[in-house]
Amino acid sequence: MAALTLADCADLFGVEEASLSAEIRNIFASHDWEYEPVSDERLDGIVINLLERVRDGNFNRVENEDKSRWVKGWGENLEDFNASADVAALIPKYMRPDMPIRLFGRFVATRASNFEQNWFEVFSSWFFSTYLRSFDHIFEFGCGSGINLANLAKRFPDKQIIGLDWAEPAVAIAEGLRTKCGMKVRGEQFDFFHPDYGLEIPPNSAILTVGAIEQTGTNFGPFLDFIMAKKPAGCFHIEPMVEWYNKDNIVDYTAVRAHDFRNFLRGYSGAIDRLEQEGKARVIKRKRAFLGSIAMEGYSQLLWAPTP
């Protein structure tokens, strides 16, 4: 079997291997990264299955500003967290073990059943320590299961961490991190489609989204207008970017079809490009993930800031 190397990891992050800290190297070394490309026969089966799921409508879809499945999903995490007060209960249930993943434009089978979960541990540890260390307040919009809030609060115990979500159980999880775990976290309800302009974004604040604005489809305008009005010091998006796939690659093509059927984020990166061209924004980084679940790559980086 092949194995993901530290150099591969740095390449996926978009940095030089030498820049990786001892902490990141140690986390990376604690996991099994062996994998092998799926066979041609299995590749055919995966592609056919994904395209048939699109054809038959067997993916969850974003539509009609319906939050019911998020209330249900984060409600399950909340129930587990309330029963245990254990941050491990906050791991999103959509990170399914024992599934092929996308890696460098291919489908691969991994020896570790939780390869994607382990990857996100390394990636988020690197991302948070690299990009969010200098901010006093970190607002995660679409905080969902609360796993990022918990990891941010443990990493930066002196910062104010604010979790925002339209689903009530997600807000309850954020509040529980403070009341049950003593973390410097608070939760507030927030709707991407109908932003609350009464929400204060103090100076030296960062806005973070992780697989959250994907749910707005083409209706990201209200949230982007909110950001431009509030002018945070930095905006950090870890999201699937459909425009960044290579449609001539069959593996990427299945992600495009799934992304389009699910009505996920489209046009956001172009909107940020236009703001930059108009002198209203500064793009810090654009980096395609080249790693993701069987359905799509969810970890692309778009980092930017409104101009003062």
pLDDT tens string, the chain, 308 residues long: the values are: 899 999 999 999 999 999 999 999 999 999 999 999 999 999 999 999 999 999 887 777 766 677 888 899 999 999 999 999 899 899 887 777 788 999 999 999 999 999 999 999 999 999 999 999 999 999 999 999 999 999 999 999 999 999 999 999 999 999 999 999 999 999 999 999 999 999 999 999 999 999 999 999 999 999 999 999 999 999 999 999 999 999 999 999 999 999 999 999 999 999 999 999 999 999 999 999 999 999 999 999 999 999 98
**CA nearest neighbour of 192 among 211, 169, 174:** 211
Please return the burial class of 219, using the count of CB atoms within 10 Å of its CB with bins 0-12, 13-18 and 19+: middle
pTM: 0.95
d(CA 248, CA 265): 21
| Domains of the chain by residue range | 2-60+91-131+191-306
Residue listed under structure tokens 């591969």: 8
pLDDT given for residue 62 in this prediction: 65
Classify 207 as helix, strand or coil: strand
CB count within 10 Å of CB 225 equals 12
Q: Which of these, 162, 224, 252, lies nearest to 199 by C-alpha position?
A: 162
Q: Tell me if 238 sits within 8 A of 127, measured CB to CB.
A: yes
What burial class does residue 239 get, using C-beta atoms within 10 Å of its C-beta: 0-12 exposed, 13-18 middle, 19+ buried? buried
Length of the chain: 308
Q: What sections of 156-288 are H helices per DSSP? A: 168-179, 221-230, 250-261, 268-277
Q: Quick one: which of 231, 232, 224, 238 has its CA closest to 272?
A: 224
3-state secondary structure of 188: strand
**Spacing of C-alpha 44 from chain mean position:** 28
* pLDDT value, residue 64: 63
Distances in Å between the Cα of 115 and the Cα atoms of 23, 33, 95, 102, 151 are 19, 7, 10, 11, 19
